[in-house]
Amino acid sequence: MSDIEGGCACGQVRFKITQPFLGVAVCHCRDCQKASGGGPGYMALALKSGFEVTKGEGKTYVSLTDSGTEIGRTFCAECGTPLWSEPPGVPFYPVKVGTLDDFTIEQPTLHLYTDSAPAWHLMHEGVPRVPKMPPPGGPRP
């Protein structure tokens, strides 16, 4: 695998990913809808050990998840581009697919928080759908 690079719209924040993605998920939670301006969030799961910020620094907004734990959502303070999330207790960062320089990644393998999706959100046929976050041992991207 060659490195995958990405960044924000204005170029102030850049990153690279040096390990294969764990999968691609589509999140329909209200926070992802707000960050995207209405649609779901498409995220490639990048191992933390293979993720490196190469330019600039993102700003992180911290909020509570529906389970009561804190999650960080990192964005560019200059242009506002949502970049990645920092969920607790997992070895990966959900990186926003739209920030990647190369979009030739695999198809989504999981839809999350489908209970929050409005009727007009499109869902991929044959891809597992879970109403909220999958339980431990449940479907994963």
What does the pLDDT profile of the chain (141 residues) look like in tens digits?
689 999 999 999 999 999 999 999 999 999 899 988 889 999 999 999 999 999 999 999 999 877 788 999 999 999 999 999 998 888 999 999 999 999 788 889 999 999 999 999 999 999 999 998 776 655 666
- Report DSSP state, residue 129: B
CA angle centred on 45, ends 43 and 51, rounded to 5°: 115
What CATH number belongs to 4-116?
2.170.150.70
**So what's the pLDDT on residue 135?**
61
pTM: 0.90
Distance CA 86, CA 41 (A): 14
**Quick one: CA torsion of 88, 92, 95, 101, rounded to 10 degrees?**
160
Closest to 25 in 3D by CA, of 137, 135, 136, 123: 123
**So what's the pLDDT on residue 136?**
60
**So what's the pLDDT on residue 141?**
63
> 3-class DSSP state for residue 59?
strand
Distance CA 82, CA 76 (A): 7
Phi first, then psi: give them for residue 32, nearest 5 degrees.
-65, -35
Q: Are 102 and 60 in contact (CB under 8 A)?
A: no
Tell how far CA 67 is from the center of its chain: 18
